[in-house]
């Protein structure tokens, strides 16, 4: 594949736009569904929780969250206008019932008051955080005391095999995330790495290691 093509794939994953962006979002929804479910599972959602997701893509999995407990509210924040619109379209019933709220933001300052959320999760976005330490502090600010943050990402050993990750992506090992977290007041309560088989763009099956960090304020 040409350098320009690889760069274009990386840009779409970082910030989906246009026709290709819709395709990319559908593909991510399919390929990443185990990772997303793993992150949600580890949130231990209970009745009345106010939940935030950072970087939801098309958010085609919200049923899975609302099955977990009653009287939940889900907020989704995105940097991609296309994903904001796609997610609203896919979840129009939840949105009209005022159970789900989507907004756009700049990827740095989270537009909510302090200690607003019980649970926060984010899947496959850490690679794109502009200032990871500052961003974790920002997440800390809006999480309630004893609240949970789940960060789910694919391990560097797997990501390195995908040629487009040399552009736009900052890759992470578990150790690197642990080191990042140690610079904040978050406590690591659990960390789990799982391996699954995924299909690459060329149809080849490869093993992917992914990790969820469960952090507590
Ligand atoms: C690789 S996709 C992952 C989508 C979905 N979470 C998944 O795992 O399939 C990354 C998404 O996160 C968004 N994004 C990137 N940086 C972000 C940030 N700092 N905060 C919120 N969303 C971000 C992008 O617009 C894109 O939709």
pLDDT of residue 204: 84
pLDDT of residue 146: 98
CATH (domain of 8): 3.40.50.150
- Indicate which residue's Cα is closest to atom 13 of ligand 1: 55
Q: Are 40 and 202 in contact (CB under 8 A)?
A: no
The Cα–Cα gap between 90 and 143 comes to 27
Number of CB atoms found within 10 A of residue 81's CB? 13
Question: Containing domain of residue 186, as a range?
Answer: 3-216
The Cα–Cα gap between 79 and 54 comes to 9
User: If you search the block for the tokens 């959320």, which residue do you land on?
Assistant: 117
Which pair of structure tokens corresponds to residue 206?
A: 């490869």
Q: 14 C-alpha to center of ligand 1: Å?
A: 6
pLDDT of residue 110: 98
Beta carbon of 83 within 6 Å of any ligand 1 atom: yes
Q: From the CA of 14, give the closest atom in ligand 1.
A: 24
Q: 54 C-alpha to center of ligand 1: Å?
A: 7
Instruction: Tell me the three state secondary structure of residue 192.
Output: strand
Beta carbon of 215 within 6 Å of any ligand 1 atom: no
Beta carbon of 32 within 6 Å of any ligand 1 atom: yes
Beta carbon of 78 within 6 Å of any ligand 1 atom: yes
Beta carbon of 152 within 6 Å of any ligand 1 atom: no
| Phi, psi dihedral angles at 148 (to 5 degrees) | -115, 140
Q: What is the pLDDT along the chain (217 residues), one digit of tens a residue?
A: 799 999 999 999 999 999 999 999 998 988 999 999 999 999 999 999 999 999 999 999 999 999 999 999 999 999 999 999 999 999 999 999 999 999 999 999 999 999 999 999 999 999 999 999 999 999 999 999 999 999 999 999 999 999 999 999 999 999 999 999 999 999 999 999 999 999 876 778 999 999 999 999 9
pLDDT of residue 199: 85
- Indicate which residue's Cα is closest to atom 12 of ligand 1: 55
- Indicate which residue's Cα is closest to atom 27 of ligand 1: 57
Beta carbon of 55 within 6 Å of any ligand 1 atom: yes
**Total domains in the fold of the chain:** 1
HSE (side-chain half, CA atoms, 13 Å) at 188: 16
Instruction: Tell me the three state secondary structure of residue 95.
Output: helix
């Amino acid at each position: 594949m040409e350098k320009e093509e690889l760069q274009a794939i990386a840009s779409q994953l970082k910030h989906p736009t246009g026709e290709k962006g819709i395709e990319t979002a559908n593909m991510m929804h399919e390929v990443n569904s185990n990772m997303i479910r793993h992150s949600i599972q580890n949130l231990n959602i209970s009745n009345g929780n106010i939940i935030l997701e950072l970087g939801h893509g098309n958010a085609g999995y919200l049923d899975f969250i609302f099955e977990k407990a009653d009287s939940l509210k889900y907020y989704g924040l995105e940097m991609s206008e296309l994903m904001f619109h796609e997610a609203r379209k896919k979840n129009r019933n939840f949105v009209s019932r005022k159970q789900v709220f989507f907004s756009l933001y700049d990827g740095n300052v989270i537009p909510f008051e302090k200690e607003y959320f019980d649970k926060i999760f984010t899947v496959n976005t850490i690679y794109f955080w502009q200032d990871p330490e500052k961003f974790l502090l920002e997440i800390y600010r809006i999480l309630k005391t004893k609240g949970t943050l789940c960060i789910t990402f694919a391990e560097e050993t797997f990501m390195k095999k995908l040629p487009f990750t040399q552009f736009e992506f900052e890759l992470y090992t578990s150790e690197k995330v642990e080191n990042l977290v140690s610079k904040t007041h978050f406590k690591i309560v659990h960390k789990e790495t799982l391996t699954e088989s995924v299909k690459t763009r060329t149809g080849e099956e490869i093993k992917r290691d992914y990790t969820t960090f469960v952090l507590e304020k």
